[in-house]
Structure 1
Amino acid sequence: MRTSIATVCISGSLVPKLHACAEAGFDGVEIFEPDLVTAYESPEEIRTLAARLGLTLDLYQPFRDFEGVDDDLFADNMRRAETKFQLMQRLGMDLVLVCSNVATATIDSDDVSARQLRALGELASSYGVRIAFEALAWGKYVDDYRRAWRIVERADHPNVGVCLDSFHILSRGHDPSDIEKIPGDKIFFLQLADAPALTMDVLSWSRHHRLFPGEGSFDLTAFLGHVLAAGYTGPLSLEVFNDVFRQTDVRRTAAHAHRSLVWLADQVRRPGVSDATHHLTEITPPQAFDFVELRGSALDEIDLVLEQLGFTFRGRHRTKPVRLWSSGRARVILNEQRGNDRPTHLAAFGLEVADADAALARARELAAPPVFRQTHAGEQDLPATAAPDGMQILFNDNGPDPRWLDEFTYGDPGRADVARSIDHVNITQRWQDFDEAVLFYQSVLGLESEPPREVASPRGLVRSQVMRTPDGCVRLPLNVEPQAEEGRTQHVAFTSDDVVGLARTARERGLSFLPVPDNYYDDLRARFALDEAFVAELRSLDLLYDQDADGGFVHFYTRTLGDVFFEFVERREAYDGYGAAADAPVRLAAQR
């Protein structure tokens, strides 16, 4: 599998873009014309640099508004084209993208368009150039890849083929299965992009909201399967117009982009085309949270809160300044080694997996950076990687009792467990990192993404998307808080069989909950037909409640300590949500 990317996908000028693409592992690039026009380097210098970096120059693009025009305009278009072919010779490139006409077309005729493309192909052949004709989703007459292919068929020239772009096909709802009717050798190029499901004009959607594969709503796995089944053997290339990606760090975005292609190729495993794709190490989704790890400048406050919540102090690590609290399978590590210059924050979490070494191998295949954590003789070395935001993720082979627990000594005698496990870990992302995080957790950990939603807060809307295993044993809600908010508040939620009783006991121990306004409980009575005594009990303990057709949800929040707070949840019957619709806005307002 060869990978390529259009230089328009990433930020900066052309030379840094080429370096970033090479470092990320791409085999080639599409040269976006404005990137070359604004470069100070000559075409020959760009050609030499690409060769030195090991990059092929796969496609020069775009050439616009060519076909479907009268004779006078056609003659001028041929003049324009010849100058581009001469430029391409200097670049050492042999393939140019010709987009269907959106501006100057006046003749809606397949015969005319085919005749003009044939003439263009004949001119191109004299320069050793091929033409990849693409139907733009907003083309004046040609906006369907099937019509573009009919025109190419009629043109009947060896130097004229089609370019298939997933956005232009899937955004219009066109059936991609007919791609398999196109001979593979006439598919000259493939461009891939994902996108969120939006209701807006297709041009604005395309220019501002495309995403890398795995981040949107398109079924790119099926789409790519059809292209490969047709016999296409060229590079898998990305063409993603996105305002965020064109502002963020060029190297990081290039690595993010390459990860998306490697992941997508791994999804396509069709008979007869498996050799065209790269297969990642197979993993099963994580089976449970192993632990969460907090670091920061006020860990003593966390000790007190965990004591008030009923967790048991399990002791200190025998060689490191690290201590452990647990209840059931919910484990909280407080690490004094690093991060003391920051407020208390969530720095890492552990996952129980079927094969820790396989999980790490997959992470490295997807260019997730490895994490070194010092271990001494006789200590368990947990393989670790880092998420895009720096969150460390450690893998442990699933089993009844993790071996690393034996490294903690002088703990308290066990008390009755108030928590069963970690229910979910909520991780706040910077706005510019959100899509990258969604792809990371999907591709590296094998999590599924729930549909995104927005929650009202006092300073604007909070974008939220839950990444989870199918059985819900691992849940990672990812949030983007309004840009006006300072800090990146995160929280850990624990499951309990009796949140009401736990809250009452924690109150007696002096725990201060996040206060809930009385108005919430008046609204709760209106939303659900609840027993008045139950509502009064919720009110007296600052508990929140939600329910749906599958069951109920009782939960409470602690106050925020540094950048972290805790939540206890009781899922009654088959309730599978998070109380997001009504309870999250109350939490966000109270935390303000």
Structure 2
Amino acid sequence: MRTGIATVCLSGTLEEKLRAAAKAGFGGVEIFEADLVTSPLSPEDVRRLADGLGLSLDLYQPFRDLDSVPDEVYRANLRRAEAKFKLMGRLGIDTILVCSNVATASIDDDALRAEQLRGLAELAADHGVKVAYEALAWGTYVNDFEHAWRLVADADHPNLGTCLDTFHILSRGWDTEPIERIPGEKIFFVQVADAPKLSMDVLSWSRHYRVFPGEGQFDLPKFLGHVARTGYNGPVSLEVFNDTFRQSDVERTAVDAMRSLIWLEERTAQHLATSGAEFPAAPPTPARLAAASRAYAMPLTTLPQVAPPSGLNFAEIKADDAAPSMRALERLLGQLGFEARGEHRTKPVSLWTLGDARIILNRQQARGVAPAISALGFDVENAVSAVARAVQLKAAAVPRTSQANEEVLQAVQAPDGTEVFLCQDAAWTREFGSDGGEAVGESGGPGRHVARIDHINLAQPWQHYDEAVLFYSSVLALTPQPSQDVSSPTGLVRSQVMQTELVRGERAVRLALNLAPWVQADEVRGTVRDTFQEHIAVAVPDLVETARACRARGLRFLPIPENYYEDLDARYGLEPEFLATLRELDLLYDRDAGGEFLHFYTETVGSVFFEVVQRIGGYDGFGAPNAPVRHAVQHAAQRAQ
């Protein structure tokens, strides 16, 4: 698949954008007019730079408000267009994007529109230029891709075709099946963008909230599958307007963008391999996937196929060994019931276990580091294939020094810097002292009869939040759930759950990504800063019993206000004795259609705290109604420090 990206997607100068696109592996670029106009580079300089970087210049855009206008305005538009055609000749670009008219002083006449588009195409042909006509979602009279195609067909000129843009089509909810009735040779360009589903005017939605494929909620594989069936084999190019991306590091954004197209290419092949007359519905085996990827003029490359992870192997916390917080963290683990299994034979790293829950304390290169989650281990079928897939998805491999007789662990880096280890077993625990090996398989595998890691909650920097969603869905095959906003004393916290599918009532992996607010008070009142907090949740078979044992070991739970229990009683009418137990132990409670949920929180050490949970029946949530209570209590504790 020929990949491209519009310069409007990236931050920086035009030269920086081109260099970042080439470094990320893109084949081509769309030149956004404003980027050229504001650049000190001449068109010839831009052309030479692109050639040297191995980039094709695929599209010049946008040309606005050409059609549906009075004759004198149209003649002025043609003069403007001819100047752009000459400029494109200097750039070496042969296709221009023409948008449907959005002006109010326009004429609603399809015959006039077709005539004016044909006249533009005649002029374009004189300069060796092709015109790709696009229906903007907010076009005054043309806002539907089928309408735009009818105009192109009526104009009937070889230099006039259409441009299909996923945002303009999917934001309006148009049916995408009619795409297949457009001849592939008359589709001159394809632009793709994803977006969260929002209730707002489509122009504002488009200008601020587009994201890269896989980071929103549009069904892009289905869209591109229709395009592939037309016989189209031109560029598939990203056009994303997003305030965050335009403020982020240009090279990092380009890598995220390229990952999104690799993801989309593979998902499109999977879609085609399980749908349509060519490939009747069936599981996408490697052979069927390969056949689907070769069946169309647009080749679709696939990656090594991996199953979703089957469990959370471990969580790692990094901290300065000399800091009091490390002692506090070790004390907290002991109070929770974790046992110290020993020191690594060659590294300043220790292992703590509680049933199948494994926590690593890493003191390497941690001078001045307060306790924070630094790595996660996921159980996978084939670690080598999983890492190969991750690297092809532009994830950076994590180098790890291993001594003789030590396990060679495969790892890549997540967008927030967390190291993601892909493990086939827990044989690595044998490297931790004389009894470390006892932690391997001691419970006979994951299950609700022993303690295990239930979920991890990671805080994400605002500029990399969407990137993280795509990373975990593409690299680990986790399924993103609709995001939720949770109230806290400093604002709304956006939360995105990534998880595996239910298998026999169990989810192997649950990962919550939180975008937390960052607030700093003025100096008069003193500085108050809400640092990002993350936590590790451990599931136990009997929470009340566990809570009493933890209390006996001196553990201080996060204190829950009395008002919470009065509200809980009003909502659920719990048995008085059970409600009294919840009050006594600072436990929280939730209920859904599947079952019940009990949990408690510890105090925070560094940026890490622990949650202990019990799922009863088929409860499948995270106790979301209780999250505002936690945020409020933690916020009060921070202010008191």
TM-score by length of 2: 0.90
Query: Could you report, residue by residue, the CA deviation over 1:499-556 in whole angstroms, capped at 9, with x for unpaired residues?
Result: 1111111111111111111111111101112101111111111111101111100000
Residue 250 of structure 1 corresponds to: 250
Residue 31 of structure 1 corresponds to: 31
* Stretch of structure 1 that moved more, 263-272 or 437-446: 263-272
Aligned positions of 1:70-85 closer than 5 A: 70-85=70-85
Q: Against the structure 1 CA distance between its residues 392 and 413, is the aligned structure 2 distance closer, same or farther, given a 3 Å change threshold?
A: closer
Aligned positions of 1:103-502 closer than 5 A: 103=103, 106-269=106-269, 270=272, 271=278, 274-275=293-294, 276-297=299-320, 298-398=325-425, 402-411=426-435, 419-471=450-502, 472-484=507-519, 485-502=529-546
State the Cα distance separating 1:325 from its structure 2 match.
0.8
Distance in 2 separating the partners of 1:113 and 1:104 = 15
The DSSP-based 3-state class of the residue aligned with 2:396 is coil
Is 1:42 aligned to 2:42, yes or no?
Answer: yes
Q: 8 Å contact 2:484–2:496 — kept in the other structure? A: yes
Distance in 1 separating the partners of 2:565 and 2:530 = 29
Distance in 2 separating the partners of 1:73 and 1:459 = 53
State the Cα distance separating 1:66 from its structure 2 match.
0.2
Residue 4 of structure 1 corresponds to: 4
Query: Could you report, residue by residue, the CA deviation over 1:328-363 in whole angstroms, capped at 9, with x for unpaired residues?
Result: 110001111122321101000111101101110010
Distance in 2 separating the partners of 1:499 and 1:393 = 29
State the Cα distance separating 1:289 from its structure 2 match.
0.7
Distance in 1 separating the partners of 2:223 and 2:437 = 58
Query: Could you report, residue by residue, the CA deviation over 1:282-309 in whole angstroms, capped at 9, with x for unpaired residues?
Result: 0000000111111112322222111111
Query: Could you report, residue by residue, the CA deviation over 1:436-479 in whole angstroms, capped at 9, with x for unpaired residues?
Result: 10011001110001111011101111000100011321111000
Q: 8 Å contact 1:441–1:467 — kept in the other structure? A: yes
Amino acid in structure 2 at the alignment position of 1:302: L
State the Cα distance separating 1:420 from its structure 2 match.
2.0
Residue 525 of structure 1 corresponds to: 569
State the Cα distance separating 1:414 from its structure 2 match.
7.9
The DSSP-based 3-state class of the residue aligned with 1:456 is strand
The DSSP-based 3-state class of the residue aligned with 2:188 is strand
State the Cα distance separating 1:488 from its structure 2 match.
2.0
Query: Could you report, residue by residue, the CA deviation over 1:132-170 in whole angstroms, capped at 9, with x for unpaired residues?
Result: 000000111111000100000011100000000000001
Q: 8 Å contact 1:65–1:105 — kept in the other structure? A: no
Residue 287 of structure 2 corresponds to: none
Distance in 1 separating the partners of 2:149 and 2:361 = 62
Distance in 2 separating the partners of 1:112 and 1:67 = 8
Gaps of 5+ in 1: none
Distance in 2 separating the partners of 1:251 and 1:487 = 27
**What RMSD in Å do the two structures reach over aligned CA positions?**
1.5
Matched length? 588
State the Cα distance separating 1:241 from its structure 2 match.
0.4
Distance in 1 separating the partners of 2:531 and 2:197 = 30
Gaps of 5+ in 2: 273-277, 279-290, 444-448, 520-528, 636-641
Distance in 2 separating the partners of 1:550 and 1:386 = 36
Query: Could you report, residue by residue, the CA deviation over 1:196-239 in whole angstroms, capped at 9, with x for unpaired residues?
Result: 11111111110111111011111001001001111110111000
Distance in 2 separating the partners of 1:149 and 1:34 = 27
Query: Could you report, residue by residue, the CA deviation over 1:12-36 in whole angstroms, capped at 9, with x for unpaired residues?
Result: 1101000000011100100000000
Residue 611 of structure 2 corresponds to: 567
Query: Could you report, residue by residue, the CA deviation over 1:226-262 in whole angstroms, capped at 9, with x for unpaired residues?
Result: 0111111011100000111111111100100010000
The DSSP-based 3-state class of the residue aligned with 1:268 is helix
State the Cα distance separating 1:487 from its structure 2 match.
2.6
Q: 8 Å contact 2:518–2:531 — kept in the other structure? A: no
Residue 591 of structure 1 corresponds to: 634
Q: 8 Å contact 1:68–1:112 — kept in the other structure? A: yes
The DSSP-based 3-state class of the residue aligned with 1:246 is helix
Query: Could you report, residue by residue, the CA deviation over 1:396-415 in whole angstroms, capped at 9, with x for unpaired residues?
Result: 114xxx21111111449989
State the Cα distance separating 1:11 from its structure 2 match.
0.7
* Stretch of structure 1 that moved more, 443-452 or 300-309: 300-309
Amino acid in structure 1 at the alignment position of 2:401: Q
The DSSP-based 3-state class of the residue aligned with 2:486 is strand
Amino acid in structure 2 at the alignment position of 1:587: R
Q: 8 Å contact 2:486–2:494 — kept in the other structure? A: yes
The DSSP-based 3-state class of the residue aligned with 2:177 is helix
The DSSP-based 3-state class of the residue aligned with 2:245 is coil
Residue 18 of structure 1 corresponds to: 18
